[in-house]
């Protein structure tokens, strides 16, 4: 059954084929949204399309999965162009895709990389993915939203503790920059009908951003079991997805 507040909306979910993005893609399409799900892994495209086919029922939801590199401004433009070409508009951009600390250390909580030891190319790739990618996606999508007088930008960030934790450069600072950007965008968009907000996962999720050892053992360093992004089921609607202890920063 579709959710009338979501049915027919056109949403872009970056990294929409895996982890948190997959959960959002399934929930949104099950609620009747049209979702474009770009991923840097081309092999994921038929998988997420099959997953969506199994949950949409008669909701009217649909998915267009595509391969794209968010580090490329041209690819970001290609995502928005493909969204408008296929579905006629773009209502929401969820900047979910991101790079964490695993490229620097497989066991990054116990084997922490000092910032001067970090590979410079990987540092650049992290900022390009986590900070510049969302900027390009929002900057290219907003003109379309302005024409229709309505839109939503949602950026997935992280806790303040993670932003400032030793051994978490460049992931923490890249998300800090994204969160500060979100606030500025919200003010720039005031009175336009477009909002800019953040979603913050309540605890570590069982996704590829986590160390393999944690995922296989089912044990997070906090002592809590890593959260399964799809535990509540893909038919819960977007409101259901938010039960994964995510929240909107109330000031923006």
Q: pLDDT tens across 4-46, in order?
A: 789 999 999 999 998 899 999 999 999 999 999 999 999 999 9
Q: 158: buried, middle or exposed (CB in 10 Å: 19+, 13-18, 0-12)?
A: buried
Q: Are 173 and 163 in contact (CB under 8 A)?
A: yes
In this predicted structure, the answer to whether residue 65 has a pLDDT above a threshold of 80 is yes
Residue 252 included in any domain: no
Task: Report the number of distinct structural domains present in the chain.
Answer: 1
Residue 103 included in any domain: yes
Beta strands 151-156 and 62-67, pairing class:
unpaired
> How confident is residue 224, by pLDDT bands cut at 50, 70 and 90?
low
- Domain at 69, CATH number: 3.40.50.720
**pLDDT for res 105:** 79
* Other C-beta atoms lying within 10 Å of the C-beta of residue 90: 27
CA distance 215 to 229: 13
Nearest to 19 by CA among 216, 173, 201, 238: 201
């Amino acid at each position: 059954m579709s959710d009338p507040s979501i049915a027919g909306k056109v949403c872009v979910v970056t990294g929409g084929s895996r982890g948190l993005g997959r959960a959002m893609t399934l929930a949104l399409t099950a609620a009747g949204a049209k979702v474009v799900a770009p991923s840097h892994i081309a092999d994921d495209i038929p998988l997420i399309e099959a997953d969506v086919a199994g949950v949409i029922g008669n909701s009217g939801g649909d998915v267009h999965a595509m391969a794209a590199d968010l580090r490329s401004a041209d690819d970001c433009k290609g995502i928005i162009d493909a969204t408008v070409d296929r579905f006629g508009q773009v209502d929401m951009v969820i900047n979910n895709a991101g790079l964490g600390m695993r490229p620097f250390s497989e066991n990054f909580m116990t084997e922490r990389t000092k910032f001067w030891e970090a590979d410079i190319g990987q540092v650049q790739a992290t900022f390009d993915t986590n900070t510049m990618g969302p900027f390009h996606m929002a900057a290219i999508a907003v003109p379309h939203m302005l024409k229709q007088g309505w839109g939503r930008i949602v950026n997935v960030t992280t806790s303040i503790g993670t932003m400032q934790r030793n051994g978490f450069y460049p992931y923490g600072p890249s998300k800090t920059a994204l969160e500060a950007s979100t606030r500025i965008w919200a003010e720039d968009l005031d009175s336009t009908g477009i909002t800019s907000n953040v979603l913050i996962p309540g605890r570590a999720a069982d996704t590829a951003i986590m160390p393999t050892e944690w995922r296989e053992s089912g044990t997070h360093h906090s002592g809590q079991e890593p959260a399964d992004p799809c535990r509540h089921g893909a038919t819960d609607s977007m409101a259901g997805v938010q039960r994964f202890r995510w929240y909107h920063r109330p000031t923006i």
